[in-house]
Chain A
Amino acid sequence: MLLEDAARPIYVVSSDRKIAYCNRGLAEWLGVDAGHVIGRRVEYHSEPDATGTEPLFGLCPPPGALDGHETKGTVTCVQRNSRLVHRRAQFIPLIGKQVRTNQDHSAMEDSRHACSVMAIVETANLSAEELTQNLSSESPDELHRAIRRFRRGQSGRFAPETLLGESPVMQRVRAQVECAASSKTNVLIVGRCGSGRTHLAKAIHYASDHEHQYPLLPLNGTVLTQDALRRTVAKLQQAETAISRETLLIMNVDQLSADLQTQLAEMLADKQISACCIGTMTEQASGDDRPCDGQNGDQLDPLLGNMLSTITIRVPRLIDRLEDVPLMAQFFLESCNQGNTKQVGGLAPETADLLALYTWPGEVAELKQVIEQAHANCPGHRIEPKDLPDVIHHALVAASLTHRPPEPVDLDAFLQRVERELVERAMQQANGNKTEAARLLGLSRPRLYRRLVQLGLTESPEHQET
């Protein structure tokens, strides 16, 4: 009753950052019913979106309070009239600090344990000056704000709208991305190098995390070691007490060693990793022997494949959706214009025609590179065919030429060359001693002698007699 009737807004945040209790004072300050507030999650203490209507955005206690330390800080809310209001608050942990130390014995590796926190908010709003002073003296807020701003920026960079293309295959990919983002299940993304697999994976993560609160942890399969995987899983487990919506992104999962793939599959099967997992792997085109990511032709462990492929997204090849090329080219061109004194408006129709004739073996990454080079070469306001890099012109000229039939190989002559070379080297190695050379080649001496005669490396006995 005392709390309920208190003039100061008071609320209790549980360890999973949900409002467990709020008094009348808080409901009045927020301008909503208490029932509307209880059970709602509060997000990390940071400035709220001024256009948003979420009143609980700035009510999250500082991490130190959730870790068991009594702290002072600032809380923020957007009132019904869309006004942003800040007040000072005191955060009192309701359960004692729990510290678990892991094997590394290091103070900085204390595991994270959250506890419930009671927040007592002052009745007076902070003025702009007071707010500036208050924030500058609160470094934790500064760090959280920087991280939140970064995540918001990333979320814009990898927004679903950046998955460009109106072709049916791209529409299907976008639908799959939406499905993966809403379901938060494991996803396997298969595509060729440069097709934008990582972009797609990040788009899924940021689309599923609308408040940009949860971390994305990318691992590069090309350079990942067992130790690094173990450390990463430990970090994810550290987070699980408070939040469990992180995404583990394993790039080039097929490039992991067989041992690591087995280890990862077991971790997923044993639920040691509770985060949502997204894996990307390379789709090898038939007859394509281009090296990719440093290693080539590696296989995906079937168990790991099963664990990851709840949803499988195949990134279409650019050549299968050439109708999307002009739109993507324009997008990359505008990216080049951004922050550049040189402004190029678009592509000449002849340039667009040339781009549609090219086969794009390097996929979207190659298109981006081509447009960047063309932007640099372009002296005017429109990219003309001459501004395109030579590789496009050469490829188109080569494609227009009739194919030469493959040259036949004379197998006997080729093998004789190899044999001759080996016999000569063996003779050289044995300093002309035929018995030793025959031993090196695994032949009997008479047989080597016949070979030498046949290959014209020594004279026949008849010749020698004459």
Chain B
Amino acid sequence: MEWIVCEAKPRWAPALRVACIRNSDSTRRLREVRGLAEIKQQLLLRPAALLAIEVGHANFTEVLNWLPGIRDSLPNVPTAALLDFSWVHSESPGEMTSTRIWLVEMALHEAGFDHVSTSPRRLREVIELGSRWAAVVAKQQASEKATESSLADLWASLPWQPTGH
């Protein structure tokens, strides 16, 4: 299982690595990309990967318009938005931060993000999303294998499997 992490500078990826290790999930591999253009290519090679994209002032509109297109071709790929909190916080002197975060989160969900994280310290939900997706993929693969050969499956289910053949 792999994460594709898209961010301008490596900020979230190290935090995500640490979170994976803390949650005893060291099997995850992280692939870092620096722009949205690279993601589609990576997703075509790894359709079961998970997607995490940093969203800030510079790319908010771009991400909003880009993600629905990806959702069309890969509707089930779990995606998490990694929100640049300083952007939401700093540019609204007259407006409550909670209101802006709420608006931004709603728009990002509407574009197709499954989860919006507001801090590299709060990645537990992102990790959970990854675990749930891993379970779904495993179940799907098992189901595909079963249909490939039911006889082989029966044989494999017998006890005292021969070893060293």
Contact = CB atoms under 8 A, between A and B. Distances in A.
Interface of A: 62-65, 67, 69, 71-72, 107-112, 139-140, 143-144, 146-147, 149-151, 153-154, 157, 198, 215-220, 222-225, 227-228, 231, 235, 238-239, 246, 289, 291, 293-296, 418, 421-422, 425-426, 428-429, 440
Instruction: Name the prevailing secondary structure of the B interface residues.
Output: helix
A111 B111 CA distance: 23
Nearest to A111: B98
Contacts of A223: 78, 114, 129, 132-133, 136
A435 to B, nearest CB: 17
Contact of A293 (B61, B76, B118): B76
29 contacts: A63-B96, A64-B92, A64-B94, A67-B95, A107-B97, A110-B96, A143-B91, A143-B104, A147-B104, A147-B107, A150-B61, A150-B107, A150-B110, A218-B112, A222-B136, A228-B114, A228-B125, A228-B128, A291-B144, A293-B76, A294-B76, A294-B136, A294-B137, A295-B136, A295-B140, A421-B158, A422-B159, A425-B159, A429-B160
B120 interface: no
Contacts of B76: 220, 222, 293-294
Contact of A215 (B68, B106, B136): B106
B64, B102, B133, B147, most chain A CB atoms within 10 A: B102
Contacts of A144: 103
A343 B60 CA distance: 31
Contacts of A294: 76, 136-137, 139-140
Contacts of A289: 147
Interface residues of B, number: 51
B78 A108 contact: no
Contacts of A440: 160
B100 interface: yes
B99 interface: yes
Contact of B111 (A63, A109, A150, A293): A150
Given A67-B99, A143-B100, A218 B110 contact: yes
6 cross-chain pairs, A with B, having the tightest CB-CB distances, nearest first: A64-B95, A294-B136, A139-B91, A215-B106, A71-B94, A64-B94
A63 B95 contact: yes
